[in-house]
Structure 1
Amino acid sequence: MNYKHNKEEVIKKGMELFWTKGYHNLGVDEICRKTGMTKGAFYNSFKSKEQFLLTTIENYGNFIAEYLQNQLSDNKQKPFDRLLALYKKMLEAQTETNHMGCFVNNTMSELGTLNVSVASTTSEQFDKFLNVIEPTVREAQLNQELIDSIDSKLLTKTIHTTFFGILTTSKSTKTSGYSIMETIMHSLKK
């Protein structure tokens, strides 16, 4: 990385660009203009636009995993209530971000079937999210708050996949979609 450029800031700006424009609508020239990097510095640091995208996805995934962990660590609430509050907060935040959705979900939707590396990286991040959420789902099952007829890992995947679907719908309808998520969560109560 050229000494003039803060790598974290370049990655953050790149993520914002990919998030708002998508992969196919964003060129290296624009990335360089918006980050202040020269093409030489860009290619020296990231090798390709695809590699830069993968770096931004991993960075976002780490940030979200930490966010999820922080949101779910409030042991003052019951596990079910923590899950409900998490999804409510994330869905209601969509109105503040003009319904941008989740960067990982958006990238999965745009490139998941077209690019093996992107599919693998976004799947890894999705699994990372599940691994953070699953202990709270399991705790809710043990507390008799959620059904226990489904393995906690599968139940977590079902819940979070539903959340991703609601995010996708939320983008086009410009609504939070929380009432759908709340309905789904309550239908899984024991």
Structure 2
Amino acid sequence: MNYKHNKEKVIKKGMELFWSKGFHNLGVNEICKETGMTKGAFYNSFKSKEAFLLTTINSYGELIVIHLKNELDNSELCAFDKLVELYKNMLTAQTENNYKGCLVNNTMSEMGATNNTVADALSKQFTSFLKVIEPIVSEAQQNGDLIRTISSNTLTEIIHTTFFGFLTRSKSTKNSGHLLILMTSFINSLKPNSNANNS
């Protein structure tokens, strides 16, 4: 195998394998079989299964950042509606990808508490997601559509962490419809209290 020529394909395949199977349920033998690499080529290129995981996490994170930017780049919607549509679309997509969840979220659940190196890489990617979403949250606050008693940074983290929880729930129930309603209700609950504003 010409590894340099197929590097992107190898990383993409590895991403899919970790995404669907997790770290501990995936062996190097299976990685090599699925990617077409020999063990020697694998260890020469990535040094370890953990290093390969980190490479796939970084690539996955870059793809998600692009996806988030594309989802939120809708000039026809106000900021609040962009947020609602973003999470609606991501939860609806779970049906299409067989409830695989999110590679970052899955790996956080599996390894976040036991492997500091992996935890740091996951935290970095999660933060990159928040950086894309935060300006929209801030805009919705400025428009009066989201509460302003919490900073936009904190509110963005609350919203996306809640979404990650719903993703985990979606994986176990194989049902995103109910969770879509819950996520939408949660975002709507973050609107300013009209009674408080009028008092």
Question: Which band: TM-score by shorter chain?
Answer: over 0.9
Match of 1:75 in 2: 75
Measure, in 2, the Cα distance between the counterparts of 1:55 and 1:124: 13
Match of 1:111 in 2: 111
TM-score by length of 1: 0.97
Name stretches of at least 5 consecutive residues in structure 1 with no aligned partner.
Answer: none
Measure, in 2, the Cα distance between the counterparts of 1:110 and 1:2: 32
Measure, in 2, the Cα distance between the counterparts of 1:2 and 1:120: 31
Indicate whether 1:178 and 2:180 are aligned.
Answer: yes
Match of 2:135 in 1: 135
What is the RMSD computed on CA atoms of the aligned residues?
1.1
Measure, in 2, the Cα distance between the counterparts of 1:115 and 1:2: 32
Measure, in 2, the Cα distance between the counterparts of 1:94 and 1:3: 32
Correspondence list, 1:17-166, <5 A? 17-166=17-166
TM-score by length of 2: 0.93
2:49 counterpart letter in structure 1: K
Match of 1:188 in 2: 190
Q: How many residues align?
A: 190
What displacement does 1:3 show?
4.3
Name stretches of at least 5 consecutive residues in structure 2 with no aligned partner.
Answer: 193-199
| Residues 45 and 182 of structure 1, relative CA distance in 2, 3 Å threshold | same
What per-residue deviation string (whole Å, max 9, x for no partner) do you get for residues 165-190 of structure 1? 00000111111111110010000012
Measure, in 1, the Cα distance between the counterparts of 2:99 and 2:3: 35
Measure, in 2, the Cα distance between the counterparts of 1:149 and 1:2: 56
Determine which structure has more spread, i.e. the larger CA radius of gyration: 2
Identity over the aligned pairs, expressed in percent?
64
* Partners of 1:5 and 1:37 within 8 A in 2: no
